[in-house]
Amino acid sequence: MIELSPELALLLLTLLCAALFVLGVQIFLVFGLWAVGFHALSPGFPVSNVSVLAFSELESFTYVAIPLFVLVGDLINRARISEEIIEFSRACIGWLPGSTGNTSIGCSAVFSAITGSNAATTASVGKALHPVMDREGYDDSYAAATIASGGIVGTVLPPSVLLIVYGVMYGVSVPDMFIAGIVPGIAILIGLVVVNTALSQRHDYGMDSSEFEFQARRVLKTAWEAKVGLGTIVILLGGIYVGLFTPSEAAAVAVFYILLSAVALGKITRLEQVVSATFTSLLLIGVILPIVVVAVAIQQNLSYLGIQDAVSEAILSLGEPWLIILAMMVIMLATGSVLASVPNIALTVPLLTPAAMELGLDPVTWAIIFIISDAIGFITPPYGLNLYIISGITDIDYMEVTYEALPYLAMLIGVWSLFFIFPELNVLA
Amino acid sequence: MTESNAAVSAIDRFLTGARDGDLRTSLERYFEGYVALVLLAVVTVLVFVDVVNRTLRGTQFVWGLEVIEGLFIWITWLSAAFAVRHSSHLRFTLLREQWSARRNYVMYWVEWLLWFVVVGTIFWYSIPELERSVEAGRIVVGTSIPDTLFYLAVPVGTALILLRVLQEIVHVTRRYRSGESISPDASIELEERSFASDAGGADEDVVADDAPAADAADGDAATVDADSGGENR
Amino acid sequence: MISTPDETDESDGTVRQPTDDGGPTRRAYLGSLGAIATAGATAGCIELATGEGGGDTTEFTAGTFAHEGGHCMDCVSPSPGWAISEALEDRSDGDVQMSLLGENQVCDSSTCGGKAERGIVEAGYGSIGNGTNFWPENNVWLLPYTFPSRAALSYTLFDERIWEQYWVPFAQRYGIVPFYGWTPELRNLLLSPDATEIAGGRVRTPEDLEGIRIRRTASRPPKVALEEWGATAPELSWGDTVQGMDTGVVHGLETWSGVGLAGGMGEVMDQVTLVEFMCGQGVMWASTDWLQGLPADHRELIADVTRELTEEAIQQADEVIDDRVGHDDPPPEGTDYAEQGITVNVLEDDELEAWRERVDPMDNPELYETERERVADLDLDVPTEDFYEYIYEIARESDVPESAADVTVDAWWGEYLDRI
Ligand code: NA
Ligand code: NA
């Protein structure tokens, strides 16, 4: 028998986990095996740690916001309030060339400002608008790519579940991050609209946009019709920004608000609608939070073994700020492409934060820069969750959507670099 | 307006089933979901009442935060088991969709083994933790609730996950043998598939998200979030 | 949680959610491979620390929330941890390696102590207050106005009689001992601008607390005291407290000044009221099984180094308060309180008496029966009626030095391991 050195065993374990991921094993199990295996390889740091984390990592009042935000989004769907939001988005930016494409991007922004979830947004906007775009003559892969790209706005624009996870893990103020996400979120939104408008004009996609002439009256009228949905945004974000509520409290208030108003307006009529919306939100919690637990266990092992020191010192040893920025960007793009978001936040952030601090970023500004990179990972292969979702919904080949998303990707990387190189652009951070 | 939302109709059917006395089916499908739902409702009300109290009267429950956090741990692990029952754990299935049933079936065994390695480990080491917490005898401030009740979420939740995995082994094996599709699916939504062993042979096998884009026209954005894969929410 | 920084403190148990105090140095940020490629590249060149004292070397891991930028020996809230790690390596020629993982890399204030008890790490930080989460007997140290001075606190905590009659039975029950101590302080009320507004100026009497919400930790005695004074006392994590003082969710917290400043409270504070009411003591706890299993020479070296540096940390207590924190009205130039423009309320004797009399355990024994009963369960063999009286008396002996600078640590865990 060949005796395995611990280092080699660690490497093999890592490769095994990567292979299991590609083979479609649940992400929780992939990272769970990595965590358990790591502990097994460091006898001084026993695996019972994971059972402690299974409790202590979840003991956070802030996490309560996650199921509640998602529940609000789901109730809005079930109450069919999302259609009003689509009409409102169309009234606002539907008059530009590439009308429906822009509508889907705008709709993603509004919708994600309610649910805090970009994947939910991608799925609902995709189901509602992809067929419409198809009928209007958009290339169907391009339409899918547009929706997948629009779906990432929600990660950066508040509220955002990933910002909550980041805030709880690293002790950064969630309300501060929500504020700091506004400017980059809107910049991303504008960037995507610019790309879609230009491409739609060039390829003559979509209906004649003159059909959707811009009328202030129409904006007001659709805004009024979408009052329940928009009112939710006011409660959610307004209450947090004014300092009236913590994110979890704002979410609880929004749940009551949406339930009362939807029932009063006859949009929710059956208990089952509420029950099944809650089930969806519970499933989500049951999927994400166990991943948080095992990802943190891995991070603690890496700390314990001192691995990260080597990596973060190597980055700092580059010396020149522009080289450090470049190295950080390459690492963020790479990890965002291969890792699911929660593990990416747990594993990559500690690696890069010393360098970010060295560059003089404050924790909130840096958090947003990292989250944008994480969001970009939703449309980068090999693991681009939004591409994957939309490809599932539309039955279009994954790589085809990926290819069509390249112009959006280029724009996103551009916006991201701007905020990284000139952090003062984020005036609200 | 067609109610094509499979998840909603699953509930309808379930409620009908419950009315007809088929409580067993509903418990089989939604047990953890119902318990977690009740706990989430309690949490939401507590948070809401606490914020109203604070804003209007400047007082808060002294035990509020601890109880909310403790219940949230229960909600998480119950939901994790619920997500096993409804095959919602996030994964990357691009390859698997093209695989033969046989290959997929082998891969299922790898996954089942991993559930027992990973979750079994958490369960196993949670027992001494539980004992320790019993010994420490800590009480939630201002109440007589022992802290242990909250830690109990870990052993109970992980045990439920393992039970759900056992159930899946039986179910998927039965489907595989009868030649039905066992392609994995990771959409975060309710599955209608009956797991009841006495369902009389063929299961219904209606997977909730079978009809995605089609319903868009009637505005059925509902289950949506579902596929969303949600890890990123 | 992985979180960062600050959690700080004391807080018993509550501090689950880390938060940031904004300072850049906050995280040691070790961490991850992140990309598989990185793993491949680095896995070949790292040494796996096993934490076992195999052969000639002893390697061990200690976990804490603390960060070197706020908790070095020259900092505003000194912890001897980093100095101990260095001294061990120097004096053993590299044979004894202490890896001190700060900034919540492997555990935070509410979990490190428990992880040390369970042997997940060899040593873990928890203030006396934090530790009550796992070791409720320690609540007895938190009764208000038990310690008349910082010197009395250290003198009592590490007195030979206390080692024999408290820490040994404690270690027998839980398998951990105090491994080293931070610079001692007494807890005060750190208040936000909102508190100033509600009180209509300085908070100098318990009456001024009316309508003020003060964050407390999960341990019971501070809750009792705050409510007796008339404040509302919600429990909150450290991170939520920083935000909460900004938004008005709470108006202040009870903690010791140094840890408050190191944990980012300076930015959200307007004034501090020096009620000096409770023990503010950071402690690193170590597993006795691990200590007992060490080679004798390494164990002796570790005992010597931790004792010496704990003593050094204690002896600078008064200097820390006077020259770094700035407990004076107005705070002296160059101190943290002066630099952050924080008003310091130094109380006159009669003012202090108004705070003390409502919560003092000797005048109000009924308030703390729970704590006294709990420690009675340990069946300690002390000459007084109960253990609380015993420490109360020791803290007031004539031998207690005037200044912390004169406190010496004469008894240490190394001498008691064979009795555990
Ligand atoms: Na969002
Ligand atoms: Na990706």
Full 3-state SS string of chain C:
CCCCCCCCCCCCCCCCCCCCCCCHHHCCCCCCCCCHHHHHHHHCCCCCCCCCCCCCCEEEEEECCCCHHHHCCCCCCCCCHHHHHHHHHHHCCCCEEEEEECCCCCCCCCCHHHHHHCCCCCEEECCHHHHCCCCHHHHHHHCCCCCCCHHHHHHHHCCHHHHHHHHHHHHHHHCEEEEEECCCEECEEEECHHHHHHHCCCCCCHHHHCCCEEEECCCHHHHHHHHHHCCECCECCHHHHHHHHHHCCCCEEEECHHHHHHCCHHHHCCEEECCCCCEECCEEEEEHHHHHCCCHHHHHHHHHHHHHHHHHHHHCHHHHHHHHHCCCCCCCCCCHHHHCCCEEECCCHHHHHHHHHHHCCCCCHHHHHHHHHHHHCCCCCCCCCCHHHHHHHHCCCCCCCCCHHHCCCCCCHHHCHHHC
Per residue in A372-403, pLDDT tens? 999 999 999 888 888 888 888 888 888 899 99
C242 touches chain A (CB under 8 A): yes
Distance A341 CA to ligand 2 centre (A): 8
Distance A340 CA to ligand 2 centre (A): 7
pTM over 0.95: no
A298 touches chain C (CB under 8 A): yes
| Local confidence band at C131 (pLDDT 50, 70, 90 cut-offs) | confident
Per residue in B112-126, pLDDT tens? 999 999 999 999 999
- Domain span holding position B41: 8-180
Nearest Cα to Cα of residue A184 among A386, A377, A367 = A367
Question: Looking at residues B178-185, what average pLDDT do you find?
Answer: 87
Whether residue C359 contacts residue C351, with contact meaning beta carbons closer than 8 Å, is answered with: no
Pick from C134, C232, C249: CB nearest B59:
C232
Please list every residue in chain C whose beta carbon sits closer than 8 Å to the beta carbon of residue B137: 136
Tokens of C78: 């000194």
Pick the range with the lowest mean pLDDT from A123-132, A136-145, A346-355, B174-183.
Answer: A123-132
Asked whether residue A143 carries a pLDDT value surpassing 60, the answer given is yes
Other CB atoms closer than 10 Å to residue A16's CB: what's the count? Answer: 14
| Local confidence band at B210 (pLDDT 50, 70, 90 cut-offs) | very low
Tokens of C87: 């001294």
Q: Give, in order, the Cα–Cα distances in Å from A97 to each of A127, A212, A213, A415, B99.
A: 22, 10, 11, 22, 42
Per residue in C346-394, pLDDT tens? 999 999 999 999 999 999 999 999 899 889 888 898 998 899 999 999 9
Please list every residue in chain B whose beta carbon sits closer than 8 Å to the beta carbon of residue A379: none
* Contact: C247, A307; criterion CB under 8 Å: no
So what's the pLDDT on residue C7? 38
Tokens 């099944």 belong to A276
What is the rounded average pLDDT for all residues in chain C?
A: 86
Question: Looking at residues C52-64, what average pLDDT do you find?
Answer: 79
So what's the pLDDT on residue C344? 98
Domain count, chain B: 1
Inside any domain, residue B140: yes
C172 touches chain A (CB under 8 A): no
Inside any domain, residue C19: no
| A406 min Cα distance to partner chain B (Å) | 20
Asked whether residue B19 carries a pLDDT value surpassing 60, the answer given is no
Nearest Cα to Cα of residue B88 among A18, A121, A291 = A291
Per residue in A105-130, pLDDT tens? 888 887 777 766 667 778 778 888 88
CA atoms within 13 A on the CB side of C127: 33
A16 touches chain C (CB under 8 A): no
Residue A195 vs residue C4, higher pLDDT: A195
Tokens of A371: 């989250």
* Contact: A26, B90; criterion CB under 8 Å: yes
The ligand placed nearest to the CA atom of residue A375 is 2
So what's the pLDDT on residue B123? 98
Question: Looking at residues A42-48, what average pLDDT do you find?
Answer: 88
So what's the pLDDT on residue C379? 86
* Contact: C25, A357; criterion CB under 8 Å: yes
| Local confidence band at B230 (pLDDT 50, 70, 90 cut-offs) | very low
Asked whether residue B224 carries a pLDDT value surpassing 60, the answer given is no
Please list every residue in chain A whose beta carbon sits closer than 8 Å to the beta carbon of residue C248: 243
| Local confidence band at B222 (pLDDT 50, 70, 90 cut-offs) | very low
Residue A128 vs residue C291, higher pLDDT: C291
Pick the range with the lowest mean pLDDT from A276-285, C25-34, C349-358, C375-384.
Answer: C25-34
Q: Give, in order, the Cα–Cα distances in Å from C14 to each of C78, C120, C130, C286.
A: 22, 21, 8, 21
Inside any domain, residue C289: yes
Query: Which chains form contacts with chain B, at 3 or more CB pairs under 8 Å?
Result: A, C
| Local confidence band at B191 (pLDDT 50, 70, 90 cut-offs) | confident
3-class DSSP assignment, residue B139: strand
Other CB atoms closer than 10 Å to residue A215's CB: what's the count? Answer: 11
Residue A243 vs residue B173, higher pLDDT: B173
| Local confidence band at A104 (pLDDT 50, 70, 90 cut-offs) | confident
* Contact: B90, A245; criterion CB under 8 Å: no
So what's the pLDDT on residue C56? 81
Nearest Cα to Cα of residue A57 among C106, C285, B81, B162 = C106
Asked whether residue C191 carries a pLDDT value surpassing 60, the answer given is yes
Question: Looking at residues C237-250, what average pLDDT do you find?
Answer: 78
* Contact: B233, A70; criterion CB under 8 Å: yes
So what's the pLDDT on residue A89? 84
Question: Looking at residues C101-109, what average pLDDT do you find?
Answer: 88
Distance A69 CA to ligand 1 centre (A): 10
| B224 min Cα distance to partner chain A (Å) | 5
Whether residue C62 contacts residue C98, with contact meaning beta carbons closer than 8 Å, is answered with: yes
Whether residue A329 contacts residue A336, with contact meaning beta carbons closer than 8 Å, is answered with: no
Phi, psi of C100 (to 5 degrees): -95, 105
B132 touches chain C (CB under 8 A): yes
Asked whether residue A249 carries a pLDDT value surpassing 60, the answer given is yes
Nearest Cα to Cα of residue C144 among C409, C398, C381, C368 = C368
CB-based burial label for C129 (10 Å; 0-12, 13-18, 19+): buried
Pick from B60, B128, B136: CB nearest C136:
B136
* Contact: B114, A294; criterion CB under 8 Å: no
Tokens of C216: 């407390």
Tokens of C387: 């253990």
B22 touches chain C (CB under 8 A): no
Inside any domain, residue C332: yes
Written as one letter, the residue type at C207 is E
- C150's CB contacts (< 8 A; 6+ apart) are C184, C185, C186, C317, C318, C321, C404
Asked whether residue B212 carries a pLDDT value surpassing 60, the answer given is no
Please list every residue in chain B whose beta carbon sits closer than 8 Å to the beta carbon of residue A78: 5, 8, 222
Inside any domain, residue C6: no
- Find the closest chain C residue to A63 by CA distance: C17
Domain segments of chain A: what residues? 1-46, 47-425
Nearest Cα to Cα of residue A112 among A90, A89, A133 = A89
How many CB pairs below 8 Å do chains A and B form together?
Answer: 310
Residue A133 vs residue B82, higher pLDDT: B82
Question: Looking at residues B125-135, what average pLDDT do you find?
Answer: 90
Distance C109 CA to ligand 1 centre (A): 31
3-class DSSP assignment, residue A411: helix
Beta strand C283-287 with C176-181 is antiparallel
* Contact: A42, C50; criterion CB under 8 Å: yes
| B55 min Cα distance to partner chain C (Å) | 9
State the Cα–Cα distance between residues A128 and A390, nearest whole angstrom: 12
State the Cα–Cα distance between residues C317 and A398, nearest whole angstrom: 64
Please list every residue in chain B whose beta carbon sits closer than 8 Å to the beta carbon of residue A245: 51
Distance between alpha carbon A380 and the CA centroid of its chain, in Å?
13
Which among B72, B125, B129, B141 is the top mutation candidate for probing chain C, defined by the most C β-carbons within 10 Å of its own β-carbon? B141
State the Cα–Cα distance between residues B209 and C176, nearest whole angstrom: 54
Q: Which CATH number is C170's domain given?
A: 3.40.190.170
Please list every residue in chain A whose beta carbon sits closer than 8 Å to the beta carbon of residue C36: 14-15, 18, 338
What is the rounded average pLDDT for all residues in chain A?
A: 88
Pick from C16, C136, C232: CB nearest B138:
C136
Per residue in C68-79, pLDDT tens? 889 999 999 999
So what's the pLDDT on residue B12? 62
State the Cα–Cα distance between residues C349 and C209, nearest whole angstrom: 19
So what's the pLDDT on residue A370? 98
Inside any domain, residue C420: no
C58 touches chain A (CB under 8 A): no
Please list every residue in chain C whose beta carbon sits closer than 8 Å to the beta carbon of residue B129: 118
Q: What is the complex's ipTM, to 2 decimals?
A: 0.84
Per residue in C329-344, pLDDT tens? 999 999 999 999 999 9
Inside any domain, residue B173: yes
| Local confidence band at A227 (pLDDT 50, 70, 90 cut-offs) | confident
Question: Looking at residues A400-422, what average pLDDT do you find?
Answer: 96
Sequential DSSP letters for A267-302: S---HHHHHHHHHHHHHHHHHHHHHHHHHHHHHHHH
Express as a percent the part of chain C with pLDDT over 90.
Answer: 71
Domain count, chain C: 1
